[in-house]
Structure 1
């Protein structure tokens, strides 16, 4: 399969209409004139072959969210109290406490707009408090539960008045912009005693390359129960063509009760963000969650031969069928040609209407020349092998398949997966046949 590089654009659809003509029959009393009969043509007009079907609608990418681990995130799940002496009070914060139901904010169902505080997405609100981040390739969101306990110190002995707060933490990125957002929401659900009137504020930080601060704001706010304290930060990156950079965002959130003299703080890390200017044919900077492995899906009822050969190749042990066993994109044109020539040399006969397809694809580091093994095929592929077919993860598969399917499968992989999901050199991805 050959990947065609080019600028990714919007899909266009054309509807063809047919205009039917009408025929009028006119009667006359006189004998009709003899119509001239054209002489038979000595040449036949060429019959145009029908246009191959457009298979764009038969390809999709996965946009499901999945759990994501934050390296420092163990401290975000069921931690011990972190207490701060604050004059006559001690403020303690514990994360991962018993979660409460989070009411769904209908505004969260609206369109996400960059450069403005956005609502927690509906898919995350519906899942409720799980004390874990979930992400897809461009978005990451987590809802965490926590308890702020205010201890009044009397004769050196603290007495407690408890307030419970649910934490919303939403990080938003746009894959066509060089600016990304890390947003925080703290929402108290129950407030009692001396916790009433607690001021919540925050400071955002980011370490790494794409961490040039554009703006941030999380001023002191004292939300009532079921209210919100919101903060937002924006970061950007302007890297050179062909480069990428990684950054790790976090928030330091502070809580100050009315009777305390200092604040208690809580660190809220998030997963790593990558910004790049390295997607071939896509001359814009964008950012993604790199730990999410994207997937492209082909409908096997439309991609009949391509689907059957990919499924068969994966079933024989070759990589690329799951996020746990992915392929890795390679953009070097010379090495791609070496992969293609190894699997599909010109000496292999191409039946009419067929083209040679290799798996793993020539545009991957698992391609034929780098596969560490020999060729294999399937019984219907019309390929005669010199050596016995290989099995297992090493090696590659060769098959003669419908030329239109082969061409569109490669072109759509570029326009539907590689571009929008910002799959750069070395990035993992996988393929599913539905």
Structure 2
């Protein structure tokens, strides 16, 4: 067993008003939130900043010449600068705001692939990806005859390096990977080698960072990538805003997916010209307020320390994994891989459907995710139709793990009886 499990949260839970709620059928249970991989909780500092912005500077950006428009534009562009610094991006101009990681990955695959890929071109897609880094490539396969080659995982969720090497020999044009899986709780041991080899064969690298950014230290200046996606709501910010960070090569080859106001330099009967830089990809009115307050969430993460946050969540997730694996009939997805778990653990219990287990946990005040987590190919490879997922953040502690295990012991017994 691990020697240490945090007895206290890393974050001040008093800054999260949601923890004042009592839940459960009789409204008497304290809230145990173990679903941060889906959406992280929002602190009072973020909601206060949101209210201050919409009450004082509520205006559209870039197109107005009045005071409020200038204030809103400045806040929006300062958020771009702050996020670029947080992630180690080459410059603020490398950061494109989107409505979330899913839109970011669609922009990367379709905005780049429709212009750059031809019938027969090869794209390597890792089997541990979220659907948002799979389906756009499959769309290109249907539209343009692009070939999708899978980098499979074994029964423990480990990427197959031999399969990747065979794909690399064929010269893939692009490689779609996830920085961290939203189902497997560990860092892929093969990821660094695949990234380096993909770079050496000049493949475009699309990296889904939704489960990494804000959870572990990320320095894009040291990471081989061409497109990197993230979402504010996975990082303590608000829903509705995300980002796609582009390498210089990728930015030069990317075409916008949407056309409209705010992204054009010229429009006439003959056609149009897009603006240079991020604005050329940000048509329409973005989630201005959500973007403007994203830096407040980033400040909280940096104040806690990304290394400390990663260690805190890892201790909780690894302890939960080890405790779950001792329960009769419980199976941890990827539990036999040998790598320490970082921020989440996904699992099943014989004789108990994940949705039924999730409801029982919810009745006890414990919020986990149940389903396939938008990773049907990965679940199929692991021999599970669905699973439960408990994910940890800075506001969790050993007490939350104990609450989870207590209910899971009950469900394990129920499954054995069934």
Q: Which has the larger radius of gyration?
A: 1
Structure number with the higher helix fraction is: 2
Structure number with the higher strand fraction is: 1
- Greater length-normalized contact order (CA 8 Å, ≥ 6 residues apart): 2
Per the TM superposition, whether the score is higher than 0.5 is no
TM-score, length of structure 2 as denominator length: 0.23
